[in-house]
Amino acid sequence: MSESLLSVANLRKSFGALLVVDDVTFDVAGGEVLGVMGPNGAGKTTMLNLVSGALAPDGGRVVLAGKDVTRVGVVGRCRRGIGRTHQVPRPFERMSVFENILVGATNGGGTHRGRERYRLANGAIERAGLSGKANRLAGSLPLLDRKRLELARALATAPEILLLDEIAGGLTEPEVQKLVELVLELRASGLGIVWIEHVVHALMATVDRLMALTYGRVIAQGDPQEVMESEELQHAYLGTVAP
């Protein structure tokens, strides 16, 4: 691991009286996958929104490639290399699959001009396995293809940090396998990835480190196996009092 590409320090966010993200700190290096686990409502998605810039934190810092981007909005962070997928895919419904992806390639962090954006878009389409469906209307896609599109579009913005929000949920086993391969491939190409997931074996097959959240707090972080076996995590999921 070289020095960290994304560095999040003491991130805090509350909605009214409810503290949703409480003092979260983590780092992700290029070519590293950080898995994020935690029960529903643990603040995982809110944390991603704080990193992507969709939400402004109440406290803490987000540093991307050595530059503090805490005050940079979502557009600026996208252009500086943060890509994000949604748990529930949000395609541009009245545009074709190709147009959806082209929009990412044109406006995102990659090259904005000429053929380069077509190259980016085509690459992303191929990687996500959507080649045969480029001209379909995005709104007409079934769930799996919507998930693929979500990923392809984020990749087309040429991110350095990719934030994945439960992208394996609802996929069949062979599809999860393909996704795992793709994530490994992206990791090998130098991307830093933060992956929120409930499909545990997919996480265990890909992540370098694992972080567990409950009630907005990091309860364990580090070696995936150790975190999985930690009393804190078992307590959070099963609710048993640790012996």
Partner 1 sequence: MVWVNAVVQGLMLGGLYALFACGLSLMFGVMRTVNLAHGDLSVVAAYGSLALVDSLGWSPFLTLLIVIPGMAIVGLVLQRLVLDRALGISALAPLLATFGLSIALQNLLLQIDSPDSRILPIGSFGIGSWKISGQLSIGWFPLLTLGVAIVVLLGIELFLQRARLGHAMRATRDDPATAQLMGIDSRKIYALAAMLALATVGIAGVFLGMRTTFTPTSGSSYLIFAFEAVVIGGIGSVRGTLAGGIVLGVAQTVGAQINAADPILIGHLVFLTVLVVRPRGLFRSSVLA
| Site residues (vs partner 1, CB under 8 A) | 52, 54, 73-75, 78-79, 83-84, 86, 90-95, 99-100, 102-104, 106-109, 137, 139-140, 153-154, 157
As given in the structure block, the two tokens for residue 111 are: 């090259």
* Residue closer to partner 1, measured from CB, 102 or 164: 102
Smallest distance, Å, CB 168 to partner 1? Answer: 20
* Residue closer to partner 1, measured from CB, 103 or 204: 103
Smallest distance, Å, CB 68 to partner 1? Answer: 20
Smallest distance, Å, CB 93 to partner 1? Answer: 6
CA–CA separation, 72 and 83 (whole Å): 14
**52 contacts: CB under 8 Å, gap ≥ 6:** 74, 77, 78, 82, 84, 163
Distance separating the N- and C-terminal Cα atoms of the chain? 36
What phi-psi label fits residue 236: left (phi over 0), alpha (psi between -120 and 50 degrees) or beta?
alpha
* Residue closer to partner 1, measured from CB, 101 or 176: 101
**Contact between residue 31 and residue 191 where contact means Cβ atoms under 8 Å apart:** yes
Smallest distance, Å, CB 232 to partner 1? Answer: 32
* Residue closer to partner 1, measured from CB, 147 or 209: 147
